[in-house]
Structure 1
Amino acid sequence: MKRPFSFLLLIVTLATSISCGEKEKTIENGDIITEENNKIIGTWLLVYGETRTGDSIEIKDLSKTKFIKILNKDHFAFFNQLEGTDEGFYGGGGSYALNGNSYVERLDYVGIKELRGEEFSFELEVKGDSLIQSGFEDVPEAGIKRHIVEKYIRIKE
């Protein structure tokens, strides 16, 4: 009788440790990111976008579009849609790594093949329900060499 119970206890212990491990992601400095302590997890609406290329600065016109970014514990996705039209839709996604305020996206899914597999390093800052992302994007094959600043607000569920 003790054998079946011991075996059952071993199975339950293994299953628990495996399922708990799926909710955690270890980052470089040994800290563990969980859904509870990762403040960037959620759905975000872009409210300000700035692109600096050379000496010029372009502020994104968001009056007729919605740009959404979704972050889970280790992946991101974004999409943009012009309101009231079938035009102007684009999106992408991939995985990310977070180490303190240092955030690196690996863009694996996107309609521009020159961007697939590219990594982009950013600094992130979360203040309440706001997320600020800034960094330099440099992809010569796609003609991109710019500094961006994006400000998002959390979309409440």
Structure 2
Amino acid sequence: MKINQSVLSVALLFLTACNPKTGPKNSIDLIGTWQLVSATTITKGDSSVTDFTKNQQMIKIINATYFAFLKHDRQSPKDSINHFDAGGGNYTLKGNQYTEHLDFYADKNWEGKSFNFTISIKNDTLTQKGIEKVEKANIDRVIIEKYVRIK
């Protein structure tokens, strides 16, 4: 009887470890939907802040292995098709080091790139800070984004 209980325990442990919803947890819970509220961009020492609560709206959806973001202008003309942006891919999270691997994006210069961020969550606010560097698009800047969790 003890052998059967041991085999059952090992099998249950194996199945639990293979399930991404019940497997090992990271101390930072990113899974969910996040709304961007502000983004600071620092390029060659010059800073600019975008308030995403007014004319633009962006959400980021994160599951156990993938992220996706959707952005649109709130004030676009009804016949406009040029004011929407989206992308996504897989990510890794080790401690507070979050890396997005951008697999899908309208601008092919960005696809296949990885972006490293340091993240923190305080209450319902996610802050991520890192460097966006895309040589083909002439992008080399620090970004700091603040999101709130959508419940």
TM tier, smaller: 0.7 to 0.9
Q: Alignment partner for residue 65 of structure 2, among 56, 61, 74?
A: 74
Note the C-alpha offset of 1:38: 4.9
Matched, 1:60 2:50: yes
Distance (whole Å) between structure 2 residues aligned to residue 22 and residue 130 of structure 1: 27
Aligned position for 1:33 = 25
Q: Alignment partner for residue 150 of structure 1, among 132, 145, 149?
A: 145
Gaps of 5+ in 2: 1-7
Q: Residue 113 of structure 1 aligns to a residue in which SS? A: coil
Give per-residue Cα distances to partners, 1:27-77, cap 9 Å, x unaligned.
Answer: xxxxx237xx65111100011100000021111142111110011111100
Aligned position for 1:45 = 35
Q: Residue 112 of structure 1 aligns to a residue in which SS? A: coil
Distance (whole Å) between structure 2 residues aligned to residue 55 and residue 111 of structure 1: 28
Question: How many corresponding residue pairs?
Answer: 140
Distance (whole Å) between structure 2 residues aligned to residue 122 and residue 66 of structure 1: 21
Q: Percent identity?
A: 36
Q: Alignment partner for residue 113 of structure 1, among 78, 92, 108?
A: 108
Distance (whole Å) between structure 2 residues aligned to residue 125 and residue 44 of structure 1: 13
In the superposition, the TM-score normalised over structure 1's length comes to 0.78
Q: AA paired with 1:23?
A: P
Give per-residue Cα distances to partners, 1:80-103, cap 9 Å, x unaligned.
Answer: 011153441000000000000000
Gaps of 5+ in 1: 1-9, 27-31
Q: Alignment partner for residue 119 of structure 2, among 115, 120, 124?
A: 124
Q: AA paired with 2:61?
A: I
Structure 1 segments of 4 or more deviating over 4 A? Answer: 13-20
Q: Residue 60 of structure 1 aligns to a residue in which SS? A: strand
Q: Alignment partner for residue 93 of structure 1, among 70, 83, 88?
A: 88
